Structure 1
Amino acid sequence: MAKAPESVLKKQAAQAKIAADALVAAKAAKKLHRANKKAFATRGAEYAAEYKATEKAAIDARREAKAKGGYFVPQEPKLCFVIRIRGIIGVSPKAKKIMQLFRLRQIHNGAFVKLNEATIRMLRLIEPYVTYGYPSLKSVKSLILKRGFGKINKQRIPIGENAVITEGLKVDGIDCVDDLIHEIYTVGDNFKQANNFLWTFKLSSPSGGFSSKTKLLHFLEGGEAGARGEEINKLIAKMI
């Protein structure tokens, strides 16, 4: 029987090595996925316990203050969610620049904003064109899980797998969806990187839309614009 040419034997050997390496890599990836899945589940349970403990502490403090005849003063909110509700007509250059900084370039765009003295002043300047308030944990979860897209190489990638977060964010301690939600909701040390990783939320028009008359009025006057506190959560639910 004729022996195969040396070039063919080399090619077969190279292909066999590639196949063997691929099998080893696949097994290692499967093992890592199992380990990560277990670690992420544990982390998610820890976050759930943390949220529950924080909520319980607030309730206990409120009850204690009431029992002593005093008032419970909650902590100042650190996070708000802003939704653009008006177009470009009549927008002043300053307001337009602020909305660009907040990445609100189109109607029904939404974004998380860390509250501090500077951002509060900017929000007041753009009140006629946006509505904003304090998102609940449920709203943060819903936004990220249902409308969340990550930014990888300037591309809009759906957050369907934890690998998207690991690859796109590259921040220690933020490796899965639960980590990302926790970082945003608690306004952690890496909030800026986490928020920049999230693509601007593209929300749907609420059922019935915004009336052209109510859009021009402040929320406190029965309109849609401006600060609406925790009532923002009802609007988010309608627009997801």
Structure 2
Amino acid sequence: MVAKVPESHAKKAKRDEALAEALTVSLKEKKAKKKATRKEIKARGLKYAEEYAAAKQAVIDSTKKARSEGNIFVPEGPKLVFAVRIRGINGVAPKERKILQLLRLRQIHNGVFIKLNYATLRMLQRVEHYIAYGYPSLKLVKSLIYKRGFGKVGKPGAWSRIPLSDNQVVEANLGKFDILCMEDLVHEIYTVGPHFKEAANFIWPMKLSSPKGGFSKFSKLKHFTEGGDAGNREHYIAGLVGRMV
């Protein structure tokens, strides 16, 4: 005589079978999505590389053309600044202290990307005795984000500092702005794209090291144009920040 299987057991077996089938389908969909995402990321990386090369070549061509015509080619002004704090809190006046807080330069050797406009330029000039800043190259932007990049994840009052070691961290927080990977993030920062504010705020203020070889005596008290380290270094910011990464 064949033992009768209880109805509850039969229902449980049927439910487990349905769950297993759904899990298999879900895993297949996730695998296909990851494959498509990797393909999209690779395509974007190639597109950005072509865009950077084309922009560089356009400047070279315009310079040659202007020279051949007896003119001078003036390239477009910088749109991006990288600022790093090089002095502590001693002797900082209240207004300057507030500006440093607004720029997210609360600690010594903190560095941030800033969109350059009239307002931010005035702020930088007001606190230039406490910071060094300049116009970063693509190489420097990539180096900073890949080596010292951390994301600000969570909610106000409960932020978490997460290393940018996975594209999924970027996609989870900036995917709604069509920023899916590290190369998207680099491109948005370097080109000062339409969602620069969200991208820059997502990046935690970078904690840099003391520069190799250190600062020379009194160099932090002098402006860069006077042989010191403070103030606007323009394209020479890479020399200082490169020793701090």
For 1:53, the equivalent position in structure 2 comes to 54
| CA distance in structure 2 between the partners assigned to 1:9 and 1:210 by the alignment | 76
Q: Secondary structure at the residue paired with 2:179?
A: coil
Percentage of identical aligned residues: 53
1:227 maps onto 2:228 in alignment: no
For 1:179, the equivalent position in structure 2 comes to 184
1:236 paired residue among 216, 236, 241: 241
How do 1:89-104 and structure 2 match up within 5 A? Answer: 89-104=90-105
For 2:26, the equivalent position in structure 1 comes to 25
Shift of 1:30: 0.9
User: RMSD of aligned C-alpha atoms?
Assistant: 1.6
Amino acid aligned to 2:143: S
For 2:207, the equivalent position in structure 1 comes to 202
Amino acid aligned to 1:197: F
Q: Secondary structure at the residue paired with 1:128?
A: coil
For 2:66, the equivalent position in structure 1 comes to 65
Q: State the number of aligned residues.
A: 240
How do 1:1-240 and structure 2 match up within 5 A? Answer: 2=3, 5-153=6-154, 154-240=159-245
Call closer, same or farther: CA 1:6–1:204 in 2, change over 3 Å. farther
Mapped contact 2:82–2:112 kept (Cα < 8 A):
yes
| CA distance in structure 1 between the partners assigned to 2:241 and 2:41 by the alignment | 27
Q: Secondary structure at the residue paired with 1:170?
A: helix
Shift of 1:13: 4.0
Mapped contact 2:177–2:195 kept (Cα < 8 A):
no
| CA distance in structure 1 between the partners assigned to 2:212 and 2:99 by the alignment | 28
Amino acid aligned to 2:22: D
Mapped contact 2:148–2:207 kept (Cα < 8 A):
yes
Amino acid aligned to 1:23: T
Amino acid aligned to 2:21: A
Shift of 1:212: 4.5
Q: TM-score, normalised on structure 1?
A: 0.94
| CA distance in structure 2 between the partners assigned to 1:205 and 1:101 by the alignment | 23
Amino acid aligned to 2:238: N
Q: Deviations over 1:13-45 (max 9, x none)?
A: 444433332222111111111111111111111
Bigger mean CA deviation after superposition, 54-63 or 17-26? 17-26
| CA distance in structure 2 between the partners assigned to 1:4 and 1:126 by the alignment | 80
Q: Secondary structure at the residue paired with 1:105?
A: coil
Call closer, same or farther: CA 1:82–1:15 in 2, change over 3 Å. same
